[in-house]
Amino acid sequence: MNNCSRRNFLYMTGAGALAGAASRTSLYGQQEIPAPVPAPSIFPYESRSPVSLVKGDDRRKNITEALLAMDKEIGPAIKRKKYVVIKINNVATNNQLAATHVDALRGILDYLAPRFKGPVMIVESSALETMDGFENYKYAQLIPEYKRFQLKLVDLNREKKYEVFSVVDGNVRPIPVRLAGRFFDPDAYIISSAMLKTHNSVVATMSVKNMAMGAPLHSVAGETPVWHDKRLMHAMVGGMGRGAGPRAGRGATPPAGQGDAPPAAARGGGPMAARGPMRGASFHAMNYNVAMVAKKLSETWGAAVIDGFEGMEGNGPSSGTPVPMHVAIASPDLMAADRVALEIMGIPQYAVGYLQYAAQLGVGQFDLSKIDIRGEKPDTVKRVFKLHDGVQQQLDWLKDIMRQG
């Protein structure tokens, strides 16, 4: 039964009183967030969710201990699967601060070692050249270190297995995107290995967006036609970025025809997530797209692991500056993990549109009062992150809702 009580209707979860207080929240004295607006739960998520929050001076150990604190929930679930997929985050292939650290992966594998006997895949579908990231961040070092796992580094763009899903463009017209088929395998235990980062389009990015934006694929170097479905997720206004669309069905082959060129970064230019906000993107539609893809993918999600040893503030997700936090977060509920992450980053949760929409769709637990935190208290490790220089443009989605109200 849907619960549309006033407490749920004012979605400033755990702090509903703020809805009638100051009209906006100020961060760093200059960055202002509009006040929360009504956001009723469509599919309420009733279950409580556990999240571990660990602080320490060793990145690898932090990750392992965060997972150990979740062992009661995660351990039995892993044993029921045939293999483990670790989805890393390589939004940039030449900036370690923007990418999953090899020691974070060691922390995950250290946890798995005495608990899982099957194979493990480390996968990514970078907006750039995935294989460059694998090489630059030295992930291949892990293969001889963890022989028992028969480790494989997999570029999902080259694997070419996908399912077609519908999102919208900047004019709210349905368009198809190809989502990595590996993420729909019921035999896989899927771990989202993410970081604490601000973002140039959606305010902040952690474990949910790592999965949702990592799922759309693109053509690889030398392939024709050229296509880039990650760009379609950004809902370019006026239909920009529409290329050759996929046929419906699992594992379909991209049709012949001339698709649009990918972003400059995918052609060897600068990072896709540059210092400025993404030009031509409909931030409102993009938030909706990420939430809808998250809803679809959540059916097979396993766990979130967020490496906050060194976060990124300012012009993330690839051009920001480091924030020493020395923390790690883990949870079998990606939404709950991200909710705790926002708390320690000092970002109002309602400001992150795709997470608010995903919460309304019942993707996971986003009410802090229904999250059982094991380990550190968020207030003891909290540091308010400076947001992206273009955050006011990113918040147009929230202003749109205010105008409609």
The pLDDT tens digits for 381-395 are 999 999 999 999 899
Whether residue 31 is contained in a domain is answered as no
Whether residue 33 is contained in a domain is answered as no
Whether residue 204 is contained in a domain is answered as yes
Letter string b/e over residues 381-403, b meaning 16 or more CB atoms within 10 A of that residue's CB: beeebbbbbbbbbbbebbeebee
pLDDT number for residue 35: 85
Q: What is the mean pLDDT of the chain?
A: 86
DSSP, collapsed to helix, strand or coil, labels residue 69 as coil
Cα–Cα distances in angstroms (integers) from residue 297 to residues 30, 96, 186, 202, 347, in the given order: 36, 27, 11, 19, 25
pLDDT tens digit string along 342-390?
999 999 999 999 999 999 999 999 999 999 999 999 999 999 999 999 9
Whether residue 191 is contained in a domain is answered as yes
- How far, in whole angstroms, is CA 358 from its chain's centroid? 12
pLDDT number for residue 316: 97
pLDDT tens digit string along 67-121?
999 999 999 999 999 999 999 999 999 999 999 999 999 999 999 999 999 999 9
Whether residue 21 is contained in a domain is answered as no
pLDDT number for residue 224: 93
pLDDT number for residue 237: 63
Torsions phi, psi for 312 (to 5 deg): -125, 125
Q: How many domains does the chain have?
A: 1
DSSP, collapsed to helix, strand or coil, labels residue 270 as coil
Which residue has better confidence, 52 or 22?
A: 52
pLDDT number for residue 37: 84
Q: What angle do CA 383, 388, 389 make, to 5 degrees?
A: 125
Whether residue 29 is contained in a domain is answered as no
Q: How far apart are CA 287 and CA 74, in angstroms?
A: 29
**Which CATH number fits the domain that encloses residue 269?**
3.40.50.11440
Q: Is the pLDDT of residue 332 over 90?
A: yes
pLDDT number for residue 62: 98
| Cβ proximity of 124 and 158 under 8 Å | no
Tokens 């291949």 belong to: 140
Which residue range is the domain that position 201 belongs to? 45-404
Q: How far apart are CA 149 and CA 145, in angstroms?
A: 10
Whether residue 17 is contained in a domain is answered as no
pLDDT tens digit string along 209-249?
999 999 999 999 999 999 999 999 998 765 444 444 565 44
pLDDT number for residue 301: 97
- What's the token pair of residue 63? 């990750």
| Cβ proximity of 2 and 362 under 8 Å | no
Q: Is the pLDDT of residue 20 over 70?
A: no
Q: How far apart are CA 257 and CA 226, in angstroms?
A: 9
Q: Is the pLDDT of residue 282 over 70?
A: yes
Task: Tell me the pTM.
Answer: 0.87
Whether residue 25 is contained in a domain is answered as no
